[in-house]
Structure 1
Amino acid sequence: MSLSSLKQRLTARLEPVAGWQPDRTAGRSDFDLNPQENRPARTLKPAAVLVPVIARPDGATVLLTRRSDQLASHPGQIAFPGGRLDAGETAAVAALREAWEEVALVPDRVEVLGLGDAYETGTGFLVTPVVGWLNVPPEVKAAPDEVAELFEVPWDFLMNRLNHRQDFYDREGEPRRWFWAMPWQERYIWGVTAGIVRALRTRLYGNEPEPAVATAEDAA
């Protein structure tokens, strides 16, 4: 795997951290696959997630969490470390803080490379993905009241479009709702997390004349 090629691509194609604004326009959303739904006019609540890319010798991986089953919102779902911005925080600062609180990832060990497309959730959040690079596999520990499990998924898997699928669920009396999903082993990555991964893949490789060839340059 060309870790240097991957890092160079991330640095070149992500938005600079210095350009972040709290009212930035959402580039992706839960409504992309559901154009039949009314997109309400509202003030979105700013949030951020850290996408931790770990440069392992046998190929890059991405650190993900499974949320505690005891949480009031989205219990048991797969997620990146992250949450709402505190007053005065930037997206990068909030993402690093949340990663420290949720999985004990030391902020100084993370090299922030840039920002992905802002993502509007159906629940009214504007989520900024902050992509961080870790040269050394980190020592992490789940905060038991927030995180049930920590695991890593190969970068190759997440960036392979063959692993991206559109699933749905039906709600009584409402239109069918579609979402991105990318099941990995026994884990089901879906919803906002999968949407962020899909948007990141498009941002990094979508404009290449031959995306599969470009992806392979960064793959194991």
Structure 2
Amino acid sequence: MKPADLRAWVQGRLDPIEAYGAAVGKRASDFDLNPGQLNPAQDRPLSPAAVLVPLVEHEDGVTVLLTRRADTLRSHTGQVALPGGRCDPGEWPWDTALREAEEEVGLARDFVTLAGLSTPYQTGSGFDITPVVGFVRPGFALVPNPAEVAEIFEAPFAFLMNPDNHERRSMKASDGMLRHFYAMPYQEQLIWGATAGMLRALYERLFGAEAA
């Protein structure tokens, strides 16, 4: 598929930015693979957050720009993540996503063309995340913020959208409960948890009935 055709195909399967705030249909969460366990959204409000899903349009194929969080951070230390964070008061999710991408990896927003919104994702740590999908033209220069990012890397979009690479794993959490989650090992990186969950939700949105 040519880059322009892929962009149109992806955009046609996302929620338009203009529709943000309308009634939300399906949501994804850390608890989709853990039926019966308590979802924090059931008993307390969640904090709004957003991530950028940066689809980089290289001549030889589209990749997803990802980071590995700094080892000095207090939460999710060393985990693979999409650029993003908590929304500031009065800030739209796409503004949050673009701001955080600039702050974390130095991705100038002039290189990003927003395509739309993917499925909202709720985390066990108390966030309601809006994934903002954007196409990134090559030629950008990245500078990781050492306080937040230990490493920047790209993984092929086709790899991440291949269900054969969506492993279901489990681990015992600090409360003693067994938690199941998606994981997508790529080279020396392990994409798992909320990041893998959001990518899985994007796959299900893009491929619909094929994503059984």
CA distance in 2, matches of 1:153, 1:104: 18
1:59 corresponds to which of 58, 61, 67: 61
Residue 109 of structure 1: how far off its partner (Å)? 1.3
The match for 1:141 among 140, 143, 156 is 143
Corresponding residue SS for 1:62: strand
- Structure 1 residues 82 and 173, CA gap change in structure 2 (3 angstroms): closer
Equivalent pair of 1:51/1:132 in contact (CA under 8 Å): yes
C-alpha distance after superposition, 1:125-171 (max 9, x if no partner): 00000001012242111001100000000011000000001001024
For 1:201 and 1:172, the matched residues in 2 are separated by: 30
Q: 1:161 aligns with which of 163, 167, 192?
A: 163
Contact 1:26 1:120 in 2 (8 A): no
Contact map agreement 1:56 1:137 (CA 8 A) in 2: no
TM-score (norm 2): 0.93
* 1:29 matches 2:29: yes
State which of 95, 98, 118 in structure 2 corresponds to 1:96: 98
Deviation at 1:23, TM superposition (A): 8.8
Correspondences of 1:1-220 after superposition (within 5 Å): 1-21=1-21, 24=24, 27-39=27-39, 40-171=42-173, 174-208=176-210
Q: Deviations over 1:158-212 (max 9, x none)?
A: 000000010010247633100000000011000000000000001001235xx69
**Deviation of 1:6 (Å):** 1.5
Aligned match of 1:215? none
Secondary structure class of the residue paired with 2:142:
coil
More strand by share: 2
Q: Is the 8 A contact 1:47 1:91 kept in 2?
A: yes
CA RMSD of aligned residues (A): 1.9
Stretches of structure 2 lacking an aligned partner (at least 5 in a row): none
Distance 1:23 1:89 in 2: 19
- In the TM superposition, what is the alpha-carbon distance from 1:36 to its structure 2 partner? 2.3
Unaligned runs of 5+ in 1: 213-220
Q: Write the deviation string for residues 15-57 of structure 1: whole angstroms up to 9, x where unpaired.
A: 0111212995661001100112122321110000000001100
TM-score by length of 1: 0.90
The percent identity for this pair of structures is 49
Cα 1:22–1:45 change in 2 (3 A) is: farther
Q: Structure 1 residues 102 and 113, CA, compared in 2 at 3 Å: closer, same or farther?
A: same
Where do 4+ consecutive residues of structure 1 move more than 4 Å?
A: 22-26
> Partner letter of residue 79 of structure 1?
A
